[in-house]
Structures are given as structure tokens and as C-alpha cells.
Amino acid sequence: MNMRLSYGMGFILLFVPCSLLVAFTHYPAFKALLNSFWNNGSSIRPSRFVGARNYEALLEDDKLMQVLSNSFIYAIGTVPLAIALAIGMALLVNSRLPATGLMRLSFFLPTMLPMVAVANIWLFFYAPGIGLASQILNAFGLPSINFLGSTDTSLVSMMVVAVWKEAGLFMIFYLAALQSIPTNLKDAARLEGAGSVRIFFDVVMPLLRPTTIFVAVNALINAFRLVDHIVVMTRGGPNNSSSLLLYYIYEVTFGFRDFAYGATLTVLMVVILGFMAAIQFWVLNRKAHYQ
Amino acid sequence: MNARMRTALPLVMSAAIACSASMAQAADLEFYFPVGVNAPAVATIEQLTNAWAAQNPQHSVKAVYAGNYEETTTKALTAAQAGDPPQVAVLLAIDIFTLIEEDVILPISDIATSDADKAWIDSFYDGFMVDTMFDGKVYSIPFQRSTPVFYYNKDAFRAAGLDPEVTPATWDEMVEMGKKLTVKDSNGNVTQWGTRIPNLGLAGAWLFGGLVKSKGDGLSTDTGTEARFNTEAAKASLEFLQRLADEEVMAPGGITWGDTPKAFLEGQAASIWTSTGNLAFINENAEFDWGVGFLPGGDGPGAPVGGGNFYIFKDITDEERDAALDFVRFMTTPENQAIWSMATGYIAPSQAAWETPEMQAYSERLPQALVALEQMPHAYREFATFQRARVTQYLVDAIEGVITGGTDAATALAEAQEKADEVLGEYR
Amino acid sequence: MSAAGVSLEVASLAKSWGAVEVLRDVNFSIEPGGFLTLLGPSGCGKSTILRLVSGLDEVSGGQILIGGKDVARTPAAERNIGMVFQNYALFPHMTIAENISYGLKVRKVPKAEKEKAMARVAELMALGKLLDRKPAQLSGGQQQRVALARVLVSDRPLVLMDEPLSNLDAKLRVEIRSEIRSLNKKLGITVVYVTHDQSEALSMSDKVVLMNAGEVSQVGTPKELYDRPANTFAAGFIGTPPMNLLQAQDVQAPATLAPANGAGKSDVLFGVRPESLGLDAGDAGFSVNARVESLEYEGKVFLVHLITPSGTRFVVAHSGDGVPEEGSEVTANWPDAATHLFDKSDGASMDFAL
């Protein structure tokens, strides 16, 4: 079986993925950048070049400021929470407790569901008065909470959904990492007098650090990338309290049909994500390797 | 975005031309429609389109369920800008200004020019025709039109010692009766609210239009360039919503549209303000005695009208255009209006439909259906302007800002007014 | 270092994982400062014993007496035992200094004392220059010394070592072997050492516990194990190459040979070490006729591989002149004193008279 590819064949094989990449990634990104320097036109009012005016508008956009602060809170809240939960679940599943197989499945299940399905489940869960959350609260004699209808709770409610959805996937990464930690390291620490908690913080956590960095970066990017549940559950409301950057882009672009400002926001998002990716590479290269 | 679509245009156009050329006299219609209610709407739409196709074997029609209203509009616009519009679509009545601005629809009064056509256009209730017009032309035909009504649980009224045949007519009565209808458990937690008015998102803004109308004002006009947010009527309406929460007649904070029928069916709310589009659903699922009344009003009755109309798109062949018009006329015959209305609870938009024997029998069986019709004279057009989505969002933000407790009504409305004027100024 | 050793005694030790019995009735003891090796093939249970003694696993039965006190139910951390692991078990994210002082840190040893102990151990193990590095930057031998240092810094009277040399190359292994032995002598600590390498066991130990399939096969000094294997397993495990075991029908024995307990001559196996065998050496007491199958040059000796007419293979370490040719028929013989007899049915060593 000596199959040598000719240059022609190689070119064809490369051409297909490259053209897909260009057509669906590079060209739209470039086009968005171009569009961000034009104002929004319609059929009867063609768009015209406006220079940096859309970018000036960014600075004056109160809603954008709120959306960015929401996104920031959302990321800062969901990432550590998802990580902590994922580690906890991985430890539980990795333990010698009975029925770990069932636990693994149930922890991982939310990850397998599409976000829209997850959102619908939680929509029912949160519904004031009729939802499960209300019924649980009522069973304890507590008043219902209007989770999605209050500016105080809507963003947190969205964060809980995201954590619930994501932690299962991260658990898998942690489980793999936990299982690759040699047992004798823990044994060695134990003989030195360290208890379980101490072993976890002195030995296990540091060895999970590459995984934690990987998961944290992914969770951070997901925090900006995943807004399906916002669309389904709150549409950014009430009063924009649960609106995230990507949802705002969606709303401006396809709701308001303001493609120019949508493109400008997209450029902002690309810059933010690019910045985070750069940090990812920098941190991964510096910190993650022991061997 | 527009420019990108234009590059794709020649390609799609040539494909479209190639297709239509081979079809000669016949037309293949594509018909986009949304579903926004809990009703067997898709099945009924297919039943009606199949009936038209059977009558017109030279044509074909493909009914495409395109999501909710917003998604359907987005899809239709995107397809139109790519040079491959659906020939017909049911879209929100209030999208008229957007569709005109994007220059994708034909004025129906320009193509429906025969006497029979004119009679057909004249056959619809005026209340539904107001928002089909711009610049003296009719751009759309009423189809799935709805208006909110006051649904109430008669059993709950009886339990509260209220007359189950009398609904609150004014806001004060609403508050007074609502207080009696609100039930708490031994822990002091509310198990049944007096009423429930969705106040979040676009649905919240829609119902808000009815409140404003009952105070004798309107949020927008037929010019499409005017938003009337900062008015006494709007302020009073917003304060009324606040008052309902303050007096424990309605749950505080944001109230969603989607959960509202369910809250009613499960006894969480003794009354709800929601669309007639939910009539069939509630009729099927209510396990208690229920009734329908006018929406309580400030100075008198008032309600918004909403829902979707038929639009015919530009950039289609003459055959397609003629077939499309025929299709729309078929879908809005009195008989078919009756079928559609009975299946969904949407208000049949013409007098003739209500006079069909089927509809007569239906309103006898379900007298609640008549209430909406009787309320129609007090209805006002739904908020619509150019840049509707954006301007409406200012109103939504104002309402949500107040009901979630952040701002006071006057400030919120003034701010929304300022932003709206900035956007609409360009169009005046 | 003041770590005077402590005695260790293991009595009737047993361990099961569920229904699987991995250790049965294990007994041995070592005096303070002694060097005891648990020897055996992989899977024989020697590492399990170490984990039970250390407290990392729980015993299923029996006693573990350290300094006369039963610690079988005492938590690992309270047994005051140090352990060196097969793969060193150094914490990859800590520096060498942090690795060594980890136990002191956990036990909150005062700083001055800690630094003193560190300096002492670093000097003892010649690690001074490596203290700021991470384990990954060290060679295998250096890592091994760090692992030893980590144990020594805490002055543990009893140190367990689980195949500590198996990851090192041959030369380094011999070096560190003697280093461990000299630390044992110099510091007077008691060492329990696990290995599957019999030459390691013989060269280092005061006492060897030979394990076979979860049971003690033989306990004794290296010399006892070599000179007087208690059974065919011990005979076959100790020595390079190990003791030959010959079928009775192949062996011409003196007529006066009388196995103990009145067993017949055909009920026994004859054991003889390759280095005790001679080729065609006249009238020594015992002899076997065999054909030369192959020759193996070992430097000091030739290993002559032979096969008897009945098909039993055995080896002669031939050091004289005149190497036989492959395929030739020879007679291998050995003196009475080099003869071992084993019961054919259970493999146990037997006495005999001549």
C-alpha cells in the first residue's frame, strides 16, 4: 500500500477546507470589519462611509456598558463556579462510592442536551408560582421568587443554567486528569501526615492546574459565546439585566436590523476573544507544564 | 451585510430564473408563516394551503413554518435581499414600515384592482385595516389578528364572593376586585394572584398599548415617524401597572407572556390579560368555569390589536404575483377565515366570516369568542414606526425599568422618548 | 542523625480484597537497625505487605508490631514510618527543597529546626546544588536520592522501600544499592526493602523473606536461602542461574542414599547448583548422563546447557578447560555435600542420609 499523493491531489484536499475556512470565517470577519466603518442602510437609504463613527457610538452606548458589565459578572461568576462544581463532581465520581457509573451519566447528561432544551427545562423550573423552584420554596414556607422577572435575579439565574450545563463537560476533563495523578503521590503525602483536605490542596489541585487553565479558558470563551439560553429564557430582560454581549449583537443585528452597528459590536467581541486567546496561549505556555 | 447579499444575488437570481423559465404559466409559491400561539396552527395552515393547491393544480404552494414572528420576518427579509423572496408571507402587521423601508413588498391595492378585488379589501373591519395602510395604499391583508381580552376564573370569583358574570370595567375596579381575588396561604405566601398582565418584552409593550388607549391616547400614528411615549396616558398606564404590584393584586416584578395561560390554568392567577389567540387552548384545558370580558380601562375600554397579515413580495414573476394574490384571497374567504378563527381563536377579520353558519354555531358554543369582536371598536393599532424593533425596545426598557423597580415612570418614559425621537428624526 | 532503629514484627498478617485473598498468614520480624528484604516475583504480595505495614491499606487480619506495639489499626500518619516509592513519588510542582521538607511543613516543625534538618540531609545525600530545581530537571539517580532524603529528613526509625532501584540503569543501581546499605548501617534505621531481584536481596539484606503467591516461602539470612532452600520455589528463585532440579530416574546416586521419613528414591527431586556441577570429573558421588544442547559464554565460566534422556534441561557452570562440543554426550557429576533433596509431591526440602 504505497499511496503517494500527487501535488494536484494534495492541493485539492487542501483547497476544500481552506475555502470553507475563508468563506465562513475569514471573509465574514473581514467583512464585519469593513461594515463597521459604514452606517446602516436600507433599500431606500443606501449606506455610506462614516469612518469611526460607529466606534464613537460604542463609547456612548449605555446599554453596551451594561451588557459588558453583565458579561463580565457572568464570566467571573460562571467560570469559577463551573470549575469548582466540576472538580467536586469529578472527585465524587472518582471515589470508591457505589453507583459512580450512574453519577457519571447524570452529571454528564446536561452537557449532552442542546442548550435550547436545557433552557426550556429551566424555564419550567424557574416559572414563578408554577415552577419546581417555586414549589420547593413553598414547601419550606418561603415565598416564590420571580427568578427571570426580576433584575436582581435574572442574570444569576442565567449563570446557574450555564454552570449546570457546562460543569458536566468540565468534570470529564477533571476526571481524566484525576485518574492520571499517580496514587503514590497522595500516599507519600499521607505518610507525611497530610489529611485528605491538605492532600487535595497541596498535591491534587496543583497537579490539576493544567486542566484548570484549559477549562478556565474554555469556560471563559463559552461565557461569551453561549447565549442560546438567553434567547429562549429572558431575551436579555428584564430591563437588559440579563443581556450579554453576544445576545446584544444578535439583537442589534437581527432584531434592529442594524448591520453596521452589529458589525462594530462584532469587531469588539473579536478583539475581546482574541485578547483572551492570547492570554490563554501565554499562560498555557508558561505555567502548565511540569514535565 | 447588504453588500454581501448583493454579491450572492446574481447567482441566486440566475438559478431562480432558470427555475421559473421551465415552469411557464404555472407558479410555485413559497409561503412563510409564523406560529405565536398555543394552537394547532401548523396543521390548519397546511389544510388550507392544500385546499388551494387542489383547486389550482397548475400551481403549487409550499407552506414554510418559519418560527415565531420575529424569526419569520428575519427569514423573509434575508431571503428577499438574497433575491429569492417568498412570494407570500404572514408577518406582523407592524412590520409594515420595516418592509417598506427595505422595499421588498408590493402594495396590494396596486395589484388588486378589479371591482371584486376592491370589494374584498373593503370587506375587512376597519379596526384591522388601519395598520395595513401607508401613504394611502394598502400593503397587507388581515389574517391572524388578535386582541387581548380579560380571561377570568368564575370559580375563583365565586370563592371571593364576587359576581361571576361581572368583570372589572375600570382600573380601580380591577384593583378592588383583585385584592379580593388574591389568596395567601398560612405562611403569608400568595397562592393565587388577582390578575396577571404580562409586562416583559414585546408582549408587555403590546398590552401597554391597550392601557394607553384606554386613557385616550395612542403610542404611535400611521406616519410611522412618531412615538408618543412621554404622555400623561403612558405615565398613568405605567403607574397603574405599578399599583397592581404595590397593592398585591399582581405579582411584583417582570411577568412573562409565555407562562401566562399556564398560570391561569393552574390557578395561580384568577384572571389574565392575554390574546384571543389563546381561546382554543384555554377552552381545551381549563378545568374550571371561565369567562372572558373587556380589558379593564382607565377612562374607558381600550385594547391593542396585533397579529399578522398577508404580504406579497416584490421581485417575483407576474404569474407568481397573480397566483399569490389568488392564494391570499382564498385564505381570507369568509369560510376559511372561519376555519382559521375556530382552530386558533384569532378574530375573524371580516363581518362576512362571522355570518357564516359555522361561525354562528361556534359563537353560540363559545360565546367568549364574541367578546373580542365587541371590544374591537375600542381597539387601537399596535405600536409601529420605522426602526420599529429598536424604538419598541426603548419602550420595553422603560416599562421593564419601572416594573422591576429601578426607575420612576416619568423619568423612564422621558428617556425612551428622547431616544425614539433621535432615531425617528431621520425619517420625518 | 539520631534515628535509632526500631524493631518490626509481623504476625499472622492477612489481606483480602473482597473475596480475593492476597496474603495468608505472613510472619517475620526484624530487629532494630536491621535490613529486611521482601523478595518474590511480581504479584506475590510483597508490595501489599509494605502498604499494610505503612498503613496505606488496612489489614484484614493479624498484627503489625513496631517496637513491640501493635499498630495494625493506627492511622498511617501516626506510625512514624518513612517510605520510598518505586517511581520516587516526588511532587512535580514543588522544588527539591519543598519536596524534602514537605513532611516537616505538614507537621509544623519550627523553622530553625527545619532548616537544620534540611542542611543535614542535603549534605548527606549530596543534593546541595539541586535544592531549587524541580524534579523533572533531575536525573533518575538524583530523583532517587531526593526520595531518600525526604524520608531521612524526618528521622524515621523505620523506612520502607518499594523497589526503589527498578527504574535505574544497572550501574546506578549498584551504586545506590551500596549507598542505601551504608545509610542503614550509619544511621541505624530499620529498613524493609521490597524487590523482585534476588541478587539485590542477597547482597543487601540481613534477612530475606521470600514470598510466593501470598505466602511466605522461606525466611532466613541470604546465606541460608542460598545454601539451604526450604523448597523447590526457593531453590528455583535464588541464584543465577538458579538451582537445577533433576528427576530421580536420571540421577545415578550412591546406593546408600536414604531419604528421610522412609520416602522412596523415586519420590524425590535432586537439587544441585550449576556451580557445584563438574563435567566428566571421575567418580564424584552423584552423576547424570546428558547431551550438550548449547553453550553460553559468561566470561568467568561457560554455561553448558544440557538435556537428560528423559528430557529435563539443566545447566552446568563450567570453569575448567576443555569445553565440550554441542551435541556431545557427557556425564555431569557433583559431590555429596552439594546435594539437595526435595519432596516431589509438595516441593519441600528433605533430609537424607548417605
Cβ contacts of C77 on chain A, cutoff 8 Å: 190-195
Measured between CB atoms, does A239 come within 8 Å of chain B? yes
Interface check for A143 against chain B (CB to CB < 8 A): the answer is yes
The pLDDT of residue A258 is above 70: yes
pLDDT at A77 (0 to 100) = 92
Distance CA A193, CA A198 (A): 9
B126 Cβ under 8 Å from any chain A Cβ: no
The helix (run of H) or strand (run of E) holding residue A211 is helix A209-225
Chain C residues near residue A182 by CB distance under 8 angstroms? 87, 89
Asked if A129 and B268 come within 8 Å (Cβ–Cβ), the reply is yes
The pLDDT tens digits of the residues spanning A90-146 come to 998 888 777 778 888 888 888 888 888 999 899 889 988 788 888 888 888 888 888
Q: How do beta strands B133-134 and B137-138 pair?
A: antiparallel
What CATH code is assigned to B28-146+306-380? Answer: 3.40.190.10
Smallest CA–CA distance, residue C320 to chain A, in Å, is 50
Give the pLDDT confidence score for residue C319 in this predicted structure: 80
Asked if residues B212 and A166 have their Cβ atoms less than 8 Å apart, the reply is no
DSSP class of residue A204?
Answer: I
Label residue B70 by pLDDT band (50, 70, 90). confident
Which of the pair, A2 or A198, is modelled with greater confidence?
A198
CATH superfamily of this structure's domain B148-304+387-427: Periplasmic binding protein-like II (3.40.190.10)
* Percentage of chain B modeled with pLDDT above 70: 93
b/e code C111-140 from CB counts within 10 Å (16+ = b): eeebeebbeebbebbebeebbeebbeebeb
Dump pLDDT digits (tens) for A73-99.
999 999 999 999 999 999 988 887 777
Q: How far apart are the first and last CA of chain C?
A: 54
Residue B334, pLDDT score: 94
Average pLDDT of every residue of chain B: 87
Chain center to CA of B190: 31
Instruction: Name the band, by pLDDT with cuts 50, 70 and 90, for residue B158.
Output: very high
Question: Which CATH homologous superfamily contains domain A51-287?
Answer: MetI-like (1.10.3720.10)
At C27 the pLDDT is 92
C3: confidence class by pLDDT, cuts 50, 70, 90 = low
Q: Is the pLDDT of residue C95 over 60?
A: yes
Please give the average per-residue pLDDT across A185-208, as a whole number.
Answer: 89
pLDDT digits (tens, 9 = 90+) for B127-153: 888 889 888 899 999 998 889 999 999
Q: Are domains B28-146+306-380 and B148-304+387-427 of this chain identical in fold?
A: yes
Any chain A CB within 8 A of the CB of B267? Answer: no
| Segment holding C16, helix H or strand E | strand C8-17
Whether chain A has a CB inside 8 Å of the CB on B103: the answer is yes
pLDDT above 70 for B59: yes
Q: Which of residues 147-206 of B touch A (CB under 8 A)?
A: 185, 187-191, 193, 200-201
Q: What is the pLDDT of residues B72-119, one digit of tens each?
A: 988 999 899 888 999 999 999 999 998 998 899 999 999 999 999 999
Tell me the per-residue pLDDT of B355-408, one tens digit each, with 9 for 90 and over. 999 999 998 888 888 888 889 888 888 899 988 888 999 999 999 999 987 788
Q: Do chains C and B touch (3 or more CB pairs under 8 A)?
A: no
Residue C61: half-sphere exposure toward Cβ, Cα within 13 Å: 12
Instruction: Give residue C187's pLDDT.
Output: 87
Interstrand relation of C35-39 and C207-212 (parallel, antiparallel or unpaired):
parallel
Answer yes or no: is pLDDT of A61 > 50.
yes
What would the grid cell of residue B128 be?
384591522
Between B363 and A288, where is the model more confident? B363
Chain A nearest-CA distance from B390, in A, is: 5
Mean pLDDT of all residues in B198-214: 92
Cα–Cα distance, C120 to B170 (Å, whole number): 93
In which band, very low, low, confident or very high, does the pLDDT at A4 lie, cut at 50, 70 and 90? low
What is the value of pTM for the model shown? 0.76
Instruction: Give the three-class secondary structure for A258.
Output: coil
- For chain B, the structural domain boundaries read 28-146+306-380, 148-304+387-427
Q: Over range C278-297, report the average pLDDT.
A: 83
- Judge whether residue A288 has pLDDT over 70: no
**Which of B372, B367, B305 is closest to B150 using CA atoms?**
B372
Least confident of B40-44, B288-292, B315-319: B40-44
Whether the predicted pLDDT of C284 surpasses 70: no
